[in-house]
Amino acid sequence: MSTPPPTLRPTARFLWGHPAHSLALGLGSGLSPWAPGTVGTLWAWVAWLLMAPWLDDATAALVIAAAAWLGWWACTRTARDLGIADPPAIVWDEVVAFWLVLWVVLPAGFAAQAAAFVLFRFFDAVKPGPVGWADRAFKGRRGEPIGWRQGFGILFDDLVAAGCTLLVYALSVAVWRGVVA
């Protein structure tokens, strides 16, 4: 039985030390000393708005699917190298999940996008109901080697948070339209 690597706090050197690290840490947004998940989500928002003009629905779906698959590898490798099953510095899970939210929400205006952002951050940070279940489902046991299961779990709870965000968003729009119409 191998011993897990020591727990590391990622640095800029770690970030650029392997392509998986660069991706999993959101090209550096995960290095933020304050709320790396929020900073990673903000980075995702800006990146999606920059890409969106060139993405039709099929291409957007392909980009999100590829980002999720590649992210599974990157998050697994980075978590293993850091010695933590779900390090706060890994923000690619927020990136992929919020891209999914934006793909559905756009072309909504800034206020609607900001509402989706706040909803997503709430579900991701507080982890109510199904998001909490998803977060616990793939963590593994203390001392268990970090592998593909934990890497999937890093992404899974954020995808569930995205689903909850979209459900609440859709219900809010439906209620709003019912009130206004």
Q: For residue 3, is it within any domain?
A: no
Cα atoms in the 13 Å half-sphere on the side-chain side of 111:
1
Q: For residue 92, is it within any domain?
A: yes
Number of domains the chain is built from: 1
Summarised one tens digit per residue, pLDDT across range 44-93 is: 999 999 999 999 999 999 999 999 999 999 999 999 999 999 999 999 99
pTM comes to: 0.92
Q: How many residues does the chain have?
A: 181
Range of the domain at 139: 12-180
Distances, alpha carbon 146 to alpha carbons 79, 139, 143, 176, in Å: 7, 9, 9, 45
Q: For residue 22, is it within any domain?
A: yes
pLDDT of residue 1: 45
Q: For residue 70, is it within any domain?
A: yes
- The residues of the chain scoring below 50 in pLDDT are 1-3
Residue 174: CB partners within 8 Å, gap ≥ 6?
none
Q: For residue 1, is it within any domain?
A: no
In 3D, which of 123, 121, 143 has the Cα closest to residue 134? Answer: 123
Q: For residue 169, is it within any domain?
A: yes
